[in-house]
Amino acid sequence: MPNVDFYTVRDNGLTIPDIQFTFNSNGASTLNAQTVTVTGIVTASTKIGDLGYLYLQDETATAWAGIWCVGIGLNSYYRDEEVTITGTVEEYYGMTRLNVISSNKTGNKSIITPTIIDPSDSASYANFGWEPFESMFVRFEDPQAGKLYVSQTNLGFGDYAVSNSANAPVYNSARVLAGRQATTAYSSLNVQLVTDTSYANLDGEMNYTPIVVNDTMSFDAIEGVLYYGFSNFRLLPRNNMDFINPSVTLDSISVASSPIGLDEWASSNLKVYPNPAQNWVQLESAGEGIWTISTILGETVAQSSTAGSLRLETADWSVGTYVARFSSAKGAGTVVLMIQH
What's the pLDDT band for 106 if we cut at 50, 70, 90?
confident
In a domain, 252, yes or no: no
In this structure, the answer to whether residues 105 and 120 fall within a common structural domain is no
pLDDT at 333: 86
pLDDT value at 24 more than 80: yes
Note the pLDDT tens digit of each residue in 315-331.
999 988 888 989 988 88
What's the pLDDT band for 5 if we cut at 50, 70, 90?
low
CA–CA separation, 41 and 65 (whole Å): 10
Note the pLDDT tens digit of each residue in 223-235.
999 999 999 999 9
In a domain, 6, yes or no: no
Q: Whole domain around residue 188: which residue ranges?
A: 115-244
In this structure, the answer to whether residues 123 and 218 fall within a common structural domain is yes
In this structure, the answer to whether residues 22 and 77 fall within a common structural domain is yes
What's the pLDDT band for 240 if we cut at 50, 70, 90?
very high
What's the pLDDT band for 193 if we cut at 50, 70, 90?
very high
Q: Tell me the CA end-to-end span of the chain in Å, nearest whole number.
A: 53
In this structure, the answer to whether residues 238 and 308 fall within a common structural domain is no
In this structure, the answer to whether residues 123 and 219 fall within a common structural domain is yes
Q: Which of 214, 244, 274 is the last residue of a domain?
A: 244
In a domain, 3, yes or no: no
Sign of the Cα torsion 19, 22, 27, 28 reads negative
Backbone phi, then psi, for 118, in 5-degree steps? -85, 110
In this structure, the answer to whether residues 201 and 126 fall within a common structural domain is yes
> How many residues are given for the chain?
341
In this structure, the answer to whether residues 99 and 125 fall within a common structural domain is no
pLDDT at 4: 63
In this structure, the answer to whether residues 123 and 45 fall within a common structural domain is no
CATH classification of the domain holding 43: 2.40.50.140
pTM comes to: 0.78
DSSP string, 169-215: -GGGSEEEE-S-EETTEE--SS--EES-GGGGSSSS--SS--EE--T
Number of domains in the chain: 3
pLDDT, greater one: 9 or 187: 187
Note the pLDDT tens digit of each residue in 66-76.
999 999 999 99
In this structure, the answer to whether residues 60 and 94 fall within a common structural domain is yes
In this structure, the answer to whether residues 104 and 127 fall within a common structural domain is no
In a domain, 37, yes or no: yes
In this structure, the answer to whether residues 91 and 161 fall within a common structural domain is no
In this structure, the answer to whether residues 61 and 99 fall within a common structural domain is yes
Q: Which of 244, 278, 312 is the last residue of a domain?
A: 244
